[in-house]
Chain A
Amino acid sequence: MNKENLKAVSVLFTIILLTPLITSLLDVNFYLTQLTMSIYYAIVSIGLCMLMGYAGQISMGQAAFFSIGGYTTAVLTTINLIEYKGSFLINLLMKLRVLVLDKNVYDNDVLFFSPWVTFFFAIVFALIISFVIGIPVLKLKGHYLAMATMGFGIIIYKIVKGTKILGQADGISAVPLFKILPFLSIDGDISNRIENFYFAGFILLLGLIILINLINSRVGRALRSLHGSEEASNSMGINTSKYKLYVFMLGAVFASIGGFFLTHYNGGIGPSEAGVMKSVRYVAIVAVGGMANIWGTLIFGILLNFLSLRGVFGSLDDAVFGAILILVMIFAPDGLIKKRFLDALIVKCKIIIKKIQLKLNKEGN
C-alpha cells in the first residue's frame, strides 16, 4: 500500500473510531444504527466498484448477490431441525458445532445452523452462482452485459418473492443474532449499538484494504488495462475472460458478505433487498463516486444510504437514486469526486487563507 492510501485508511480508521463519540456529544446516538447499515451497504458498493470502475464491466445484478448472502443465512438460521434430533448425522453436526441448540421466544427448543457455518455458505453460494452466471454473461459487452445481469437480478427477485421457504413477499424475520465474541454479537439491540458500529467499520476497513492491495497489484494492473482496451490486454498475454470472471466473483462475495451481516443486524431480510432498484442504487453510488475511485464509492455509499435510511428522500427513495444515476451520467460521467477538483479546491482555500492573513497583517500594522 502506498503512502497516500495508508494515510486515507488511517483517516477513515480515526473517523470510525471517533464517530460514536461525536454522535453521543450531539445526542444523536440512534444515528449509529443507520450508519452501521450504511456501512454494510457500502461494502456491497465497493465490491461493485472493483468490477465497474477498475475492470470496466457493469453489473445490474449486485442486489441479487446481496440477497443470496442474506437469504442463505436467514433460511439456515431460522430452520428448525429439532424433530431430527437424535439421528446420528444431526448429533455429529451438533458436536462439530455446525448446528446449535437454543430457545426461541416461546421458550421452545430450536436447532439451527450456526451463523459461522452460514457465513461460509453465504460466501460459497455467492462464488458458485457468480461463477455459473458469470461465464456466459461476461462474454457480453456494454449494454448487453447490463441487460443480462439485470435479467439475472430480476430472476433472483422473482424467485425470492415466489418461494415459500424464502418467506415470499414477507421475507424472513426472527433471524438469530450472530455471536462472534463473548462481548460482540451482531444484532440490532440498542445496548450493542456501538460494538456493532465498530465491527461494521472493522469489516469495511478489512474489505477496503484488500481491494486497495488488489488494485495496486499485478492483477489490479491487468484489470485496469482490461478497462482501457480488452484487445490490447489480450495481446499482452492477459487472460481477460478469466480476470473478468474472477472480479465478478469477488464483487459477488463482497455483496454476499454485506447481505449476511446486514441480515443478522436487522434480524431479517425481505425481497425488496433483491429488487432491481437496489441494484440501480449500487450502480448509481459507484457512478457518483467516480467509477474507478474506491474512496468516492465509499463516501457516497455511506452518505447516500444514510440519508436514504434516515428517510430524507421520503417515498421518493428509488426515484432519487434513479435521478442521481441519470444526472451523473449526463453532467459528471467521471463522478463528483475528482482529484483535479479536490486539488483546485485546496489551492483556492490556500489563496483565501493567504488573503485573510494579508488582511490581518495590514490591520495589525
Chain B
Amino acid sequence: MPLIEVKNLSRYFGGLHAVDNVSFNVEKGIIKAIIGPNGAGKTTLFNLISGTINVTSGKVFYKDHIITGLKPYQIAKKGIVRTFQNLKLNQHMSVLENVMIGRHIRSKAGFISGMLNLPNTWNEEKKIREYSMKMLDVVSMADKKDITVANLPFGQQRAVELARALACEPEVLLLDEPASGLNIYETKELSELIKKLKTWGLTILIVEHDMSLVMDISDDVVVLNYGEKIAEGQPDKIQKNKKVIKIYLGDDDA
C-alpha cells in the first residue's frame, strides 16, 4: 500500500494546464524527487498536495484517505508538512521561536491557559523548547538559537525552515527546492542531512533543480514537463531516458 497516492491530479489556471492528469505513488520511507524544467508545474503539484491551492480535478490519497479539499492545517495535522521555495519564516522572531512554531500541532495549550499562564502549560512549553532545540541541533543551528531570523544568511534560514518542518514530527516531508540558493558545500551538507532523515523513517518528497543532488539522494524520480508526467523510475534509468534528455538538452538533430 503506497503512503501517498496521487490520482489524475489536474490544476488549470485559465487555459494554462499547470498540472495535467498526473498520477504517481509514494511508498513509505523512500525519497521521491519531482524534477522538470522551469514552469513544468512542480511547485503547483506541491501546492496541490499540501492543500495550499485547490485542485481542478483528481484526488490525493494519504494512507487511503482522501486529503484533497482539506485545509492546509488539516493536512499538516495528518502528518504531511512542507517547506517553501522562497522561505516563509517570521523574520522578526528568533531562530528558536520560529522552530517552536513547528511544535504547534504537537501541543495544545489554548487561549485561556495562555492568557492565565496556567502551570500545566509550563511543562508543555519546556518540552516544546527541548524538542525544538533538538531539531536545531539536527540542522546544526543550535548555537544560533537567539538570533533574529532576518539577520541570518539565506542558507541558514533554509536550515531553520527545515528544522521548523521537522519539529512538526511529520511522516511525510515535502521539500520545495531545498537546495536553491545554497552553495556546493551547503548542498553537500543538505544531501547528507536528507539521507539521515530517511534513516529516521521519514518519507520525503522533494522538488529540485540540482540534478546532482537529486541523483545522489532519491530512490525514485518523477519527471514533469508542461504539467504532464513524462517519465517515472529510478534515477539511473531516468538519466538514460530519451524523453528526459530531450527536454533538458534539446533534440539531437536540432
Contact = CB atoms under 8 A, between A and B. Distances in A.
B239 interface: no
Nearest to A247: B111
Contacts of B237: none
B125 interface: yes
Contacts of A222: 101, 104
A240 to B, nearest CB: 7
Contacts of A218: 103-104, 107, 109, 114, 121, 124-125, 128
Contacts of A250: 111
A230 B110 CA distance: 19
Between B88, B89, B102, B128, the greatest number of chain A beta carbons within 10 A of the residue's beta carbon is seen for: B88
Interface string B159-181: 00000110010000000000000
A246 interface: yes
Nearest to B161: A232
Given A218-B121, A228-B92, A237 B109 contact: no
B52 A235 contact: yes
A236 B115 contact: no
A238 B93 contact: no
Between A221, A227, A235, A238, the greatest number of chain B beta carbons within 10 A of the residue's beta carbon is seen for: A235
B139 interface: no
Contacts of A227: 90
Nearest to A242: B73
Contacts of B76: 234-237
B91 interface: yes
A238 B90 contact: no
A225 B165 CA distance: 14
B30 interface: no
Interface string A322-353: 00000000000000000000000000000000
A234 B114 contact: no
Interface secondary structure of A, over-half rule: helix
Contact of A234 (B73, B97, B128): B73
Nearest to B52: A231
A220 B101 CA distance: 10
A250 B112 CA distance: 11
Between A213, A217, A219, A240, the greatest number of chain B beta carbons within 10 A of the residue's beta carbon is seen for: A217
Contacts of A232: 84, 88-89
Between B90, B101, B168, the greatest number of chain A beta carbons within 10 A of the residue's beta carbon is seen for: B101
Contacts of B115: 210-211, 213-214, 217
B121 A224 contact: no
Contacts of A214: 111, 114-115
A292 interface: yes
B147 to A, nearest CB: 15
A34 interface: no
A362 to B, nearest CB: 41
A238 B117 contact: no
Interface in B97-134: 97-98, 100-105, 107, 109-111, 113-117, 121, 124-125, 128
Contacts of A237: 73, 76-77, 81, 104-105, 168
A229 B114 CA distance: 22
B72 interface: yes
B218 interface: no
B115 to A, nearest CB: 5
B82 interface: yes
Contacts of B117: 1, 213, 217
B104 A231 contact: no
Contacts of A234: 52, 71-73, 76
Contact of B116 (A210, A229, A239, A240): A210
Contacts of B88: 228-229, 231-232, 235
Contact of A225 (B72, B90, B111, B128): B90
7 contacts: A217-B121, A218-B103, A218-B121, A220-B114, A225-B93, A238-B101, A238-B105
Interface of B: 50, 52, 71-73, 76-77, 81-82, 84, 88-93, 97-98, 100-105, 107, 109-111, 113-117, 121, 124-125, 128, 164-165, 168
Interface of A: 1, 210-211, 213-214, 217-222, 224-225, 227-229, 231-240, 246, 250, 292
The 10 A-B residue pairs with the shortest CB-CB distance, nearest first, are A228-B90, A217-B114, A232-B88, A237-B105, A237-B76, A234-B72, A229-B88, A213-B117, A219-B114, A218-B109
